[in-house]
Structure 1
């Protein structure tokens, strides 16, 4: 029955590979939309535009950690229970470069989901523009080489 197990493992590996690659394609699309929004926004734009940029950040972050989780599972890692676990492991394995910024992203995402204060939105928007977007781009470039 060893051959059946091997077939099952091959099928499972194939499914894991397909899942992370498909999620990566979706991530690249959402990242492109985030980049377009960041480039289009200026300080004279109404707050609703800033809120839209932050929502795109939330989508991008969600897909970023999930594509990391899928890739890490494809590579055989287990017990990845959430974004913090995926982020720590990805940093330890060299998939992402600035682990602290990625951890800060998790906090920012939690703030923006429930933020109604314009000053919080402004602060978090600045982080997206000044550092988070670059981390997302680095991840895209790294995963493109795998």
Structure 2
């Protein structure tokens, strides 16, 4: 394999990993019902964290493959991806960054409940849209 093929392989491999993690998140979201114990919610939030991490990294890898430079973090990747039409709702993606930061460091049940609702109501759909978009490239 030549060096010029490495960036392609990297973003496509990351997309495959993202797809697997997204499937796990979908399974957890679908398995939840109002009678589920709190540990299910905690599992959904942890899967959200993993999925978000891979989402922005696959965006970063793809954007670098396309020649974009200086992508220093999830906010930079998110803004550029929105500007290029890779993601549809830039504000929800920015909200995801905030939610991820909250869930990683929060132990307050009300914060976790709020973030859990966001994952179920909007974030998961955005993750699916990203997978569908990148799978066509």
TM-score interval, smaller chain: over 0.9
Give the C-alpha shift of residue 118 in structure 1: 1.1
For 1:83, which of 67, 74, 79 is the aligned residue? 74
Q: Of the two, which has the highest radius of gyration?
A: 1
- CA offsets per residue over residues 22-69 of structure 1, 9 Å max, x none? 000000000000000000011221111100000000000000000000
**Which residue matches 2:63?**
72
**1:56 maps to 2:47:** yes
Deviations 1:69-94 (A, max 9, x none): 00000000010000000000000000
TM-score norm. by structure 1 comes to: 0.92
**How much has 1:137 moved relative to structure 2?**
0.3
Give 2:133's aligned residue.
Answer: 142
Mapping 1:73-112, distance limit 5 Å: 73-112=64-103
> Structure 1 runs of 4+ off > 4 angstroms?
none
Structure 1: runs of 5+ lacking an equivalent: 1-9
Cα distance in 2, alignment partners of residues 52 and 79 from structure 1: 33
How far apart in 1 are the matches of 2:40 and 2:18? 21
TM norm structure 2: 0.97
Residue by residue over 1:75-127, the C-alpha shift from the partner in whole angstroms, topping out at 9 and shown as x without a partner, is 00010000000000000000000000000000000000011111111100000
Give me the whole-angstrom Cα distance separating, in 1, the residues matched to 2:2 and 2:124: 35
Pairs aligned (count): 137
Where relative contact order (Cα < 8 A, 6+ residues apart) is larger, the structure is 2
Q: Is the 8 A contact 1:112 1:121 kept in 2?
A: yes
Give the root-mean-square deviation of aligned CA atoms: 1.0
